[in-house]
Structure 1
Amino acid sequence: MSGSLEVRQFLLRYDGEAQGGSGLGGVPAQRAGHGEAPRISDDQVRRARLAVARGATDVDDCAELLDMLGLKPDQDGQPPVQR
């Protein structure tokens, strides 16, 4: 059992070094601003909606998940995730 613990510790150390040590325990640092964030394409939104629909238990669950993830269109017809 100690072997798997050693492997996990090694991977955590390696992951931290690969990220330049920027991050606490392998957690990436928050982005500085919205200008550097890549745009989410219409195809990505469509595929995300399909994935949510496949995993939802019913229509209400699907609608709630889409809303929580910013994939439900607003009044302008654009999902918040693409703003």
Structure 2
Amino acid sequence: MSGSLEVRKFLWQQDDFTIRHSPTVPAQRTGEPSRVSDDQVHRARIAVARGAQDADDCRLLLDMLGLAPAEDGPPAVQR
């Protein structure tokens, strides 16, 4: 249980840091969407697996988030 509490605390600190250090006017977006790296997908899958209740829950969450391995190429989040 302390692991999920630590994760929440970390995420809260990151959100707080982002809010305090973000510019008042957001930067203009370019036409090119940012790409999700293989490492980011791996870390996201690990985070989902840690929070899942069982294998079926993990599979469902990964699919809903576009992180499930695809049979025909990269996961949906990287397309």
For the aligned pair, the TM-score class normalised by the smaller chain equals: 0.5 to 0.7
Structure with bigger gyration radius: 1
Unaligned runs of 5+ in 1: 1-16, 21-30
* Equivalent residue number for residue 19 of structure 1: 25
* TM-score (structure 1 length as normaliser): 0.58
- RMSD over aligned CA atoms reads 2.2
* TM-score (structure 2 length as normaliser): 0.61
* Equivalent residue number for residue 52 of structure 2: 56
Unaligned runs of 5+ in 2: 1-22
| Percent of residue pairs identical | 65
Decide which structure has greater strand share. 1
Per-residue CA deviations over 1:44-76 (Å, capped at 9, x if unaligned) read 000000000000000000000000000002221
Higher relative contact order (Cα pairs below 8 Å, separated by 6+ residues): 2
